[in-house]
Structure 1
């Protein structure tokens, strides 16, 4: 059994094909898919996407790319939704920091507020971090955050991986490791404990090798899993077993 821990299945790209993809995933042993919310305007859409389907789960948060379209009242709206969340809502996120998109001084208050919210509600946190792994780690340490954390789409160095793992984070591993040229990240993934890794596709983004941009689906978690097995020393069955235990621990299943 595999789990796609981070997939934007609510996006319009999947509107005509979503049910078929979820059924194909089930047939291939991909039993669960987690859909992160990224902005207040789509929180309802995310919740509606999973409704009635026991294979789908979701998170709610404010992504750093979209902080400028929000108001302070949206944080209270987020809190209200999370307090009244269904059992299919498993984390806060996608939130975080991105040095390549927008201004960190605008993103930071929203990230810190969501860390505080996750701590008060004792919920896991799904974090977007682009060239800000040091800043993310510093915030988590400053806040003494002791709930589970997924660093989504990790593509850093072995040193960054170890620093995040030492902070208690799990690393989301996706299509990047299917590329031989991603030597730094592939080496990082082999050097951290297997207990710290979670698989994800970030579909329709972050496609594995051989998949066109924008055409990624959660079915490609199989390609990510194969790439991980190719570079890890453990037997495939052991890797699959531990990955399932990791994502279960992350999302409280």
Structure 2
């Protein structure tokens, strides 16, 4: 059984002391591949190094809306340079984490940054990894207007209708720790009705802990708990869910089996 954690922040400082052990625990659970996300300009430089250190890891560059206060106009130019500099590196596989966050303010600036990053994704033929918070519909409108036709909605937690609209747009849905909580009825019900062939698994570690581990640092090994929850919700075997979501992950990032 092979699994792909399509959204993890293993380069963050919280993993500096035991990153190797964290990765080994993940591999012992069948998690073989990892996607590391870019969030700020100053953080990008460490991503290729950490991905190489981990092995079987990929990375993306992006300006995350949560850090809107840090982003400067010149950072878009820096992003263009990073994409050119690392364009031939087979481990650069997406633009992200980008998106819109209704709780971070500066929405006009967020939208401007997102629009430019969507344009860069089209130009470089890369998928996008989209962050959302109370912005799923607004994001979809912007993607329909100018976005690439490949990407993933990270930490999907919307309604069935919203999920269906994204799937019809050609996007994957990132399924993580939220579905491990029985109280997340809306998301679990939506996931049960949406096509598995449009889903990928993720942890968002060190954030988004799974049920039973609230308040703890999340890590990729806990992707197995997400897998189990998704198998239960869809009434499929863990093996079937693992195979199909792994195949979806490869398709999302343009990787060969």
* TM-score, structure 2 as length reference: 0.95
Question: Please, which runs of 5 or more residues in structure 1 have no aligned partner?
Answer: none
The CA RMSD over aligned residues, in Å, is 1.2
Q: Match for 2:106 among 93, 100, 103?
A: 103
Distance in 2, Cα, partners of 1:169 & 1:82: 22
Q: Show the counterpart of 1:12.
A: 13
The one-character-per-residue Cα deviations of 1:54-96 (angstroms, maximum 9, x if unpaired) are 2221111000012232222211111111122121111000000
- CA deviation after TM superposition for structure 1 residue 33, in Å: 1.0
Distance in 2, Cα, partners of 1:213 & 1:164: 31
- CA deviation after TM superposition for structure 1 residue 52, in Å: 4.3
The one-character-per-residue Cα deviations of 1:157-198 (angstroms, maximum 9, x if unpaired) are 111111111111110000000000000000111111111100
Question: Does the Cα contact within 8 Å between 2:27 and 2:221 map onto a contact in 1?
Answer: no
Q: Show the counterpart of 2:200.
A: 198
Q: Show the counterpart of 1:120.
A: 123
Q: Match for 1:173 among 172, 175, 183?
A: 175
1:202-221 aligned within 5 A: 202-221=204-223
Distance in 2, Cα, partners of 1:224 & 1:27: 16
SS at match of 1:172: strand
- CA deviation after TM superposition for structure 1 residue 240, in Å: 1.3
Q: Show the counterpart of 2:32.
A: 31
Distance in 2, Cα, partners of 1:55 & 1:202: 17
Q: Show the counterpart of 1:130.
A: 133
Distance in 2, Cα, partners of 1:49 & 1:32: 13
Confirm whether residue 59 of structure 1 aligns to residue 60 of structure 2.
yes
SS at match of 1:234: coil
Confirm whether residue 22 of structure 1 aligns to residue 8 of structure 2.
no
Distance in 1, Cα, partners of 2:53 & 2:208: 28
Q: Show the counterpart of 2:225.
A: 223
Q: Which stretch has the larger CA shift, 121-130 or 45-54?
A: 45-54
SS at match of 1:228: helix
Distance in 2, Cα, partners of 1:67 & 1:6: 20
Question: Please, which runs of 5 or more residues in structure 2 have no aligned partner?
Answer: none
Distance in 1, Cα, partners of 2:21 & 2:235: 35
- CA deviation after TM superposition for structure 1 residue 47, in Å: 2.1
Question: Does the Cα contact within 8 Å between 1:67 and 1:110 map onto a contact in 2?
Answer: no
Distance in 2, Cα, partners of 1:251 & 1:82: 15
Q: Show the counterpart of 1:48.
A: 49
Question: Does the Cα contact within 8 Å between 1:65 and 1:102 map onto a contact in 2?
Answer: no
